[in-house]
Structure 1
Amino acid sequence: MRRHQFSDRRLLRRGLRGVWGFRSPIAQLGWIAAALPAVFAATLMVNTLRIRLLIELHHLDIYGTRFTAELAHLIGGVVIYYGSLLCLFWWVSVILKRRAPVANATGWAPPPWAWWLVPPAGYLLITLGAPLVTGNFLSDVAAFTRHATTVVLLSGALSLPGLVVTLIPRSIKGS
């Protein structure tokens, strides 16, 4: 029990340094100070892109009974928002020179591919979790099911390349 308490304290003391490899509290604060305006700018750019592209998409004469303007809007939104989240995630991981989570205080680290589960988990938690928590999905369960299926399939398809690229070096080393 005493050893476990020591590990917990050591893990807490490491803070951001342990997660992202920062060596000092100043470096941690510098990263946060730089990240906030960068995230704000990225949000503005992505929203501008989404609005512009979806306005153009709305004016196209491509819709029918199965491929509706609403479905096109959903697909466009997921591709733009989630795709930009993946790009931002990749960019930050390159800046931080991390491809996989660092080991915790016990020395255990998840496999490198697990790192690519972070963006879909966060995205799905927000996009599908919010209607579930608030109960908004109850007004039209069938529509929410179609929405959830589309979001899960698209985010999974967009996540697949990052996951595959992470797995390829391991399979090459193993053979």
Structure 2
Amino acid sequence: MSIAVSAVVKPSRLLRAALAIHAALNLGAALYLLGPGAGAFAAPHAIAACCLVVAAAAAHACACPGNKRLIDISGLGEMRVTVQQDTGGTARHNTLSRLLPGSTIWPGSMLLLVRSEGGKTAPVAVLPDCVGAQQFRALAVAVRAIGGHAAQDQDFFDPHKIL
């Protein structure tokens, strides 16, 4: 059985919604702390300022468009990660990558740590709404197989308890 798979990983709408909710809750907390009911707190203005900073950071992260990624895994276990940085498709970075220890696969999500040929390490989050159900299963099987091949060469599983 071949482990060859190709999957387009789109930015997650669930993660964007969670960031929006996080920003709204922090903004609500800041408004509450600036109101008359915040007398029970020691430094309500400092706490409100921290909540506003976090709300602004979460809103900025929510507003930024994410990058599409194309993960190609060959039948031999070579992984290529292509990052599409704009929607026009002109700016692409296609690099041969290596799966690192610390990658995690759960039944509903994956967090892959990959290192490119240039030495740059990047996390790739694959959530349920990023790919189709069949692609997710095929990608999970292929990543587990790559982790198994890497385990023969090094201590891949023992110190990190991954995959």
Question: Structure 2-normalised TM-score?
Answer: 0.27
Q: Which one has a larger percent helix, Structure 1 or Structure 2?
A: 1
Of Structure 1 and Structure 2, which has the larger fraction of its residues in strand? Answer: 2
